[in-house]
């Protein structure tokens, strides 16, 4: 058993001594971290790498920082991988709890805000969300909308995207303005 551990230490190099790692040792660390990270991502939420919520983005940043230390040897390799697994587990646990308690969901995932309703900008919500009219109009153009009146609802979603629900065609008059 001691021979196997010695071989593993030789293959992956010393912990806490980045300058002593060879190209091969750092490459082996990177390959192993990649394989383990893929497994952790598959075990964890499918969303977190997409940055769906602030919680997901936070995990992505922290996980990247932690595993990089394991690759470059500035932190002990085994504990770095264990810490990565703990982070993914905490993310999954927090997401699970947030599904059950609305206060925790709001705390870790945030809430969406209505920015435009029936063609009318919701100025207070826009101010709270730090969204200008130009920002809103840009988002509408990206959704194929030219005028505010063409929108029944536009919301700033929890992931930072602006979703748009267009007004029905029958609500628009010949001059392009919405009927009320």
CATH of the domain at 115: 3.30.240.20
User: What pairing do the DSSP bridges indicate for beta strands 162-166 and 151-156?
Assistant: antiparallel
Residue 180: the pLDDT is 47
Q: Does residue 157 lie within any of the structural domains?
A: yes
Same-domain status, 75 and 155? no
Same-domain status, 11 and 82? yes
Domain extent, residue 36, equals: 2-106
pLDDT per residue as tens digits for the range 126-167: 999 999 999 999 999 999 999 999 999 999 988 788 999 999
- Nearest one of 144, 110, 107, 112 to 131, comparing CA atoms: 112
Q: For residues 179 and 172, is the Cβ–Cβ distance under 8 A?
A: yes
pLDDT category, 119, cuts 50, 70, 90?
Answer: very high
Residue whose structure tokens are 């996980």: 63
Domains identified in the chain, total number: 2
Cα–Cα distance between 92 and 40 in angstroms, integer?
Answer: 11
Task: Give the pLDDT mean for 31-36.
Answer: 87
Question: Which among 106, 127, 149 is the end of a domain?
Answer: 106
Tell me: pLDDT of 17 over 80.
no
Task: Give the pLDDT mean for 24-50.
Answer: 75
Same-domain status, 42 and 12? yes
| Residue 142 CB partners (closer than 8 Å, separation 6+) | none
Same-domain status, 77 and 146? no
Task: Give the pLDDT mean for 36-40.
Answer: 80
| Residue 71 CB partners (closer than 8 Å, separation 6+) | 26, 29, 30, 33
Q: Does residue 61 lie within any of the structural domains?
A: yes
Same-domain status, 144 and 160? yes
Residue 179: the pLDDT is 52
Residue 123: the pLDDT is 95
Q: Does residue 178 lie within any of the structural domains?
A: no
The pTM (predicted TM-score) of the whole model is: 0.62
Give the residue with greater pLDDT, 170 vs 106: 106
Q: Does residue 180 lie within any of the structural domains?
A: no
Residue 174: the pLDDT is 46
Q: For residues 44 and 92, is the Cβ–Cβ distance under 8 A?
A: yes
């Amino acid at each position: 058993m001691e021979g196997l551990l010695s071989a593993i230490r030789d293959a992956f190099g010393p912990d806490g001594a980045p300058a002593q790692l060879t190209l091969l040792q750092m490459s082996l660390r990177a390959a192993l971290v990649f394989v383990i990270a893929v497994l952790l991502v598959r075990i964890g939420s499918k969303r977190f790498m997409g940055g769906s919520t602030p919680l997901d983005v936070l995990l992505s940043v922290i996980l990247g920082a932690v595993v990089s230390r394991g690759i470059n040897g500035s932190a002990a390799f085994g504990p770095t991988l264990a810490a990565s697994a703990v982070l993914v587990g905490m993310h999954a646990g927090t997401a699970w709890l947030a599904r059950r308690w609305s206060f925790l969901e709001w705390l870790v995932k945030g809430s969406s805000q209505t920015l435009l309703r029936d063609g009318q900008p919701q100025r207070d919500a826009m101010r709270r969300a730090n969204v200008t009219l130009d920002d809103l109009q840009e988002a509408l153009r990206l959704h194929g909308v030219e005028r505010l009146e063409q929108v029944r609802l536009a919301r700033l979603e929890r992931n930072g995207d602006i979703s748009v629900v267009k007004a029905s065609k029958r609500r628009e008059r010949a001059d392009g303005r919405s009927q009320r």
